[in-house]
Copies of this chain bind each other. A is one copy, B any other.
Amino acid sequence: MRVNYKNTSLISENEIAGKVLELKEYLRKLNEVAMVGGYDASEASINLPADESFLKKAKAFAKDKKTKKLKYVVVIGIGGSNLGTQAVYEAIYGTLNIALKSKDPKMIFLDTNNPKLMFDVQDILSDVKDKEEIVVNIISKSGSTTETVANFEVLYQFLKKRIDGIEERVVTTTDFGSKLWQKAEEKSFAVLEIPKNVGGRYSVFSSVGLFPLALCGVDVKSLLGGARLMRDECLNEDFQKNPALASAILTFLHYKKGANISNSFFFHSQLETIGRWYRQLMGESIGKEKDKNGNVVHIGITPIISIGSTDLHSMAQLFLGGPKDKFTTFVNTEFQKSKVAVPKKMIFDGLVEHLNGKDFSEIMRAIYEGVKIAYQKNKAPFMEIILPDLSESSIGQFLQFKMMEMIFLAELLNVNAFDQPNVEDYKKETKEILKINNDFRRNRTTD
């Protein structure tokens, strides 16, 4: 993974170096967490890439559930329970994966309680007759996520009516000892563990991501290998060799100068879901009412996701002409010809100059370079992340890089990277309303 920000970030190396000093102590602590291993520290997630036990267990479970007939893997989870899996899956298999004739098994995601989505998933699954054609993976860290439990109950009832032995095809992923864990064991569903100190948004390299991805053919060993490589890079004290440190400091300094928006600008559309995963990572890790000392600070940077070249046709005007309230990270891959090329003899010859015979990668490269020049001319600050390719190893590197970046960024902002206290604000109200609805019904019945 290459990183470039000199001359484009509009931040001097001196400014960065000053902030590195502030993080020196914390970096030492992180190195210690990595050395000790295990899952006791708040930062425990950084030990996942170096832990083969989850990999082994996920692969063993996948081997057990994988059959020649396997067509669908339904992942029921929301937020940290499915975003990482979805991100890796789409990065590898593309945005149209669900419709491909050449791809089996296919992963289907049920997150929110959308009746139309549920009907459509049932439409897609209507041809499943044999239990070996399907696996259902319900994932909830707490074990009591409303939407996840509701989706599972409805889908399970649908499948139970149609497929003998469906209970053998359910895998439950949750915290050890949660209520869901207990109930799943009662029902003899298979159960996978999430380490307690690893929060949802940092859990993609645990059984949360590794099991369903392995089952669908993703090379999870390479994924984890890439993450391990990057984990070690991001423990380096030299910011020139530590992309997470550099990126966190650049984002922090731009935030201090008024950039309250962080734009992740991916130049491959199949990386958009990585952007969604990153939204949670940034939104929950540093969007905070209070700092570590309990002071009310209302801090936070709003992550936005852009896709090249698609969003150039909708957002470039704002990005180039609008206010200087963003710091942008372009994410692209090293140049490589794609084998998709415009014919030399075009039907619409002369509409666009110099297009004949051009490989898609050449066109996209020209657009990408054009955008970077325009950003520089318009003094819009950015950094570049250039991945070797879109392989599992590269994706693993990128996700780990971003998780480490967020841990550093939270430290710079003096907020807790691992909690999300304000989420309770609406959950509490929702529970109250569900309860009132019930009381209302009960009263009506007894009237």
Residues of chain A having any CB pair with chain B under 8 Å = 78-80, 83, 94-102, 111-121, 123-124, 126-127, 143-147, 149-150, 152-154, 156-157, 179-180, 183-184, 187, 200-201, 260-261, 268-270, 276, 279-280, 282-284, 287-290, 298-300, 302, 304, 307-326, 338-343, 346-355, 358, 360-367, 369-371, 373-374, 377-378, 420-423, 425-435, 437-438
Contacts and interface: CB of A to CB of B under 8 A. Distances in A.
B426 A367 contact: yes
Contact of A421 (B124, B321, B369, B420): B321
A124 to B, nearest CB: 5
Nearest to A284: B317
Contacts of A431: 353-354, 370
A433 B143 CA distance: 54
A127 B353 CA distance: 34
27 contacts: A96-B120, A113-B340, A115-B360, A145-B313, A146-B363, A149-B355, A150-B342, A150-B352, A154-B340, A154-B343, A154-B360, A157-B343, A180-B348, A183-B351, A276-B314, A283-B318, A283-B322, A288-B322, A298-B323, A302-B322, A316-B422, A317-B421, A320-B423, A321-B422, A354-B435, A366-B437, A369-B430
A434 B355 contact: yes
- The list of the 8 closest CB pairs from A to B, nearest first, reads A287-B318, A79-B313, A300-B322, A280-B314, A370-B430, A370-B429, A115-B338, A289-B321
Contacts of A307: 112
B149 A351 contact: yes
Contact of A146 (B102, B146, B319, B367): B367
Contact of A318 (B300, B317, B322, B437): B300
B279 A435 contact: no
How often does this chain occur in the complex, in copies?
2
B98 A121 contact: no
A446 B120 CA distance: 58
B153 A360 contact: no
Contacts of A430: 366-367, 369-371
A315 B150 contact: no
